[in-house]
Structures are given as C-alpha cells and as structure tokens.
Amino acid sequence: MPESSQLEALARRFPAGFVERKDGNDYVAHHIINQRLLTVVGPFDFELVQVIRGSVPAVAPDPSGRSRRAKAGTPALDNAVVGGVWRLACEIDGRRVRIEEVGDVGDVHNWPNDGARLKDAASDALKRCAMRIGLGLSLWAQEHYFLDEQLKADDGEAQAKAEGMAAVVEPSRKPETAPEPEPEPVAKPAPAKPAPAKPAPAKPQPSAKPQPEPAAKPERPEWPSLPPDVEQHKVPSLDDIVDNAGLANRVHLGKRVAKREAEWLAAQFADFGSLTPRVTKPDPGWLLNAADRNVVLRWRLARLVLERRSAWKQAAESEHGPEHKQREKGVLDDTPF
C-alpha cells in the first residue's frame, strides 16, 4: 500500500469551527495553517524569493465614507511593496517538495510601511503554498472538492489489489521423492477373546435445561427526515442561516445556540450525534460541522433562527447595551454571547 498518510492528513477538511468568512469567501487564519503544517510535515523552510514593488494610485477623500481613512483619502505611493514570491520546502511521505507562490498585499494603504506590507504578503503566500500540497484546498474548491475522498479510495483499491496478489501466490512445495516400497504383510495370530464384562449400570442423565432464546437485536432507529412539504434544495445553506441570524460568522452562531438554546442543542445531539462519533457531548463545533453535512439538521437550525432571532437580539441588547448592534456585524471587538 502506498505511503500517503501525510498527504491524506493535509487533504482533510478543516472543522467548521476553524473556518471564518469575509467578503463572501471562506478562509482559515494564518496561524491555524502554520500549526497544521507543523503538525503534519514537521519543520519546513519558507524562503523569500522576490519582492514585488509597484505604484499605488491615490484615493480621493469621500465625505460620506464610514471610516476616518475613507473620509480623509489616501496619497499615491510609488515603488511600494505590493507583494512577493516565497518558496515552501518540506518533506511529504518521504519525498522532498518545493512550492513557489505569490503573496499579495490586500490593501497597501492599510499598512504604515513596507515591512508591514511584506508580512501581510508572506501570510498570503504561505496559505497559497499550503493549498498546493492539499492543505486548505477545500476552501478554494468548495462544493467541487473531492481530493480527500479520492485519496481514501485510492488507498483502499491499492490494499485490495495487494491482498489479491498475495492470495494467488502458491506456497513453496517440498521436492518429491520416490515412494518407499510397502513391506510384505505378516500373518499375526488371532488374539484370545476376552471374557465378556458386566455392563456398568447406566448413570441417570440430568434433564437438559431449556436454553433461553437469544434476545433480538434492537433495530437501529431511522434517521430523521425532512417533512414531505419541504424540498431538499430549498433548505438554506449554513452561511445563509448565519446572515439571517444577523451574526458576523458561523462561530458566533454556534456560540449563540450553545448559550441560549442548550435544551434544543441537546435534543439535536440525541438525534444526530452519531454523525460525529468522536464527539461525546453537544457543542458549537459539533453543531456547525453536522449541520454543514446534514440537510435535516440544517433545516431545523434554520427554523430555530427564524423563531428565536428576535428573542436573541433583545436578550443580547439588554446584556451588552446599545453597542451590541455594531458588535453583531463585527464592527466592534467580539464579546461573549
């Protein structure tokens, strides 16, 4: 069987609790990517190959802008760092791999100097290099991602083929030798007949106890299904549910449900807990991961948000004050729910 354990580990999807969303795109933070790389491949080399510089046009002041920088405008920049090329080198399943990728500075005016811009580009380049070896590739591919399942299938086929080849190999045979001649039969005197022995009294056999019939195995309960009047393709996505709840991201939604709907979460875990066998209790990460994969649980979550979002909002505003409306959309720093 080919050794592809490290590649399979790199190709695994990130748990939903690590995935964030910004400007309509899913992403995983730089420090999570770095930790995952070190966990799977160990120490790696990350070398700056080329610094990319360019001119950035000025942005005129906008009195109606939301931020102070938008209202003041930004000056033109000449020969500023706008990106760079980095090389990632590591060992995967015994093979030395080198990847070069471009890192982009998201907003050049957002950084005070070229050093800070270069750090931003390095973070972007590391994510792109990691994507080339399978880490985080699912975030780019979205619903078209199949690498993780394909690697499992390839390993299974290789193992079955190896077992089949071992089954057809014949064991080594011992060298054949000439058969030895059989000896001539010799007449033996007939043995004397022994005197008939008295039969021993028969022991009473214990009455056989009736064996109880084996208990029938309980049938596995059927999975919960959608109501007949709900079509599967009309169930909203998890991101749509987050938007409908008025929250900044999935993590906020999971924490909100875990704090304010503990009984509902426990009931869903009783129905869908076997979707994630390693999880022993309901928590926000389990809910997000299971709802992302199971349309019935996602439909239940959508109904919960529809019914409870007003109550959530009122409770949060009473606890955190008028600034809570801004926190909900991520304008201010995150606060506990």
- Map out the domains of the chain as residue ranges: 5-59+81-153, 232-328
Lowest mean pLDDT among 71-75, 210-214, 329-333: 329-333
Higher pLDDT, 272 or 331: 272
Higher pLDDT, 214 or 31: 31
Lowest mean pLDDT among 11-25, 150-164, 179-193: 179-193
CA 185 remoteness from chain centre: 78
The architecture (CATH level 2) of 5-59+81-153 comes to 2-Layer Sandwich (3.30)
Tokens of 114: 């070229």
* Alpha-carbon torsion angle 308, 311, 316, 319, nearest 10: -140
Contact 147, 135 (CB under 8 A): no
Q: State the burial class of residue 292 (Cβ atoms within 10 Å of its Cβ: 0-12, 13-18, 19+).
A: middle
Mean pLDDT taken over the chain: 80
Q: Of 116, 132, 106, which Cα lies nearest the Cα of 44? A: 132
Q: 237 Cβ partners below 8 Å, 6+ apart?
A: 298
Q: What is the pLDDT of residues 105-142, one digit of tens each?
A: 988 998 999 999 999 999 999 999 999 999 999 998 88
In 3-state terms, what secondary structure has residue 234? helix
